[in-house]
Amino acid sequence: MTVETSTERRRFPGISPRAYEHPADRGALVALRAVPGLPAVLRTMSGALGERRERLLLLASAVRVGPRQFAALDDLRLECAATLDVGPVPEVFVLRNPDPIAMTIGMDTPFIVLSTGLVDLLDTDELRFTIGHEMGHVLSGHAVYRTLLLYLTNASVNLAWFPIGYWGLRAIQLALEEWYRKSELSCDRAGLLCGQDPAAALRTHALLAGATGTDPEELADFLAQSEEYDAAGDIRDSILKLGHLVGRAHPLPALRAAELQRWATSDEYAARLAGEYPRRAYDPEASFTEEFKAAAGAYRDAVASSNDPLAKLVTAAGGRVAEGLSRLRRP
């Protein structure tokens, strides 16, 4: 695999993660980032040992990407970090595993892990999208808040006696799982900003879902699956769809692909490519109220576009929560 550097790809110096974060993800992150000391507390709870342990294990059992080992991947690593202005550039390790896997680990010094199954499956443009996705997790600091979800997951089992009770903790966990699924949509957008190739992003989603071919007709059929899934069904289908999300931290692949393709045709994406995007230097000035309003608006749009009666009810509830939070933040 060789990497062809294109002078046509735009870079985004100083870009804020708010430029690509899904409104529901962004609203939650703006609130969490502003809680005094929360990231530090989570880092203390997690400790540096876990992060160091994982990196040491990878040093001993995987291949670290560099100029001589997976040199083409190293070029993509540097290119994606430069595109999103991520520094220091995260290390990338390739781990022997036939399953296609990509993940970002660590809070203080995040690093990216790719499986050999993923590297063998994807071409250069698809890998650029995937590494850009992981760089999005790094820039957004998702690992800090993913840690919170993991602690609450454990707490829902171990602290059932706590006054809030098992079901209270379970409700918080479900809300965090919903947020984390939205964070995956955010990082798909980061990946698209790195590659600036919607077709490569669609191929990646299709291949990870199990496709063996990616010609235009096959990809069109794959996207059509999301429309069929979203089509109106009876209450039995609605209940089954909700069950599909229990314990799932990632969106369903066909729906995820369709969501990103919609963003690729949006005015917001066009504005980013034109150099119009929020800068991270102004992140401390981000408005709680405006971000929660945007989250509520995203939920309202989802209600309007859905044909599923139960999904409408649940999504509307999410929108009301977001609207309530925006009111709470008003002076």
Mean pLDDT of 216-224: 96
| DSSP letter, residue 20 | T
Coil vs helix vs strand at 113 = strand
What residues pair up with 94 in beta bridges, in sequence order? 63, 114
Contact 107, 43 (CB under 8 A): yes
Please give the model's pTM, rounded to 2 decimal places.
0.81
The yes-or-no verdict on residue 264 having pLDDT over 80 is yes
pLDDT band of residue 8 (cuts 50, 70, 90) is confident
The yes-or-no verdict on residue 314 having pLDDT over 80 is no
| Residue 261: predicted pLDDT | 97
Cα Rg of the chain (Å, integer): 20
| Residue 95: predicted pLDDT | 97
Instruction: For 164-215, write each residue's pLDDT tens digit.
Output: 555 555 565 666 677 778 889 999 999 999 999 999 999 999 999 999 999 9
Chain mean pLDDT for the chain? 79
| Residue 265: predicted pLDDT | 97
pLDDT band of residue 106 (cuts 50, 70, 90) is confident
d(CA 238, CA 243): 9
* Percent with pLDDT over 70 in the chain: 61
Contact 142, 90 (CB under 8 A): no
Q: Which of 8-22, 137-151, 233-247, 275-289 has the lowest mean pLDDT?
A: 233-247
With both helix axes pointing from N to C terminus, report the angle between 288-305 and 309-328 in degrees, rounded to the nearest 10: 170
| Residue 22: predicted pLDDT | 87
| Residue 204: predicted pLDDT | 98
| Residue 321: predicted pLDDT | 46
Mean pLDDT of 77-105: 96
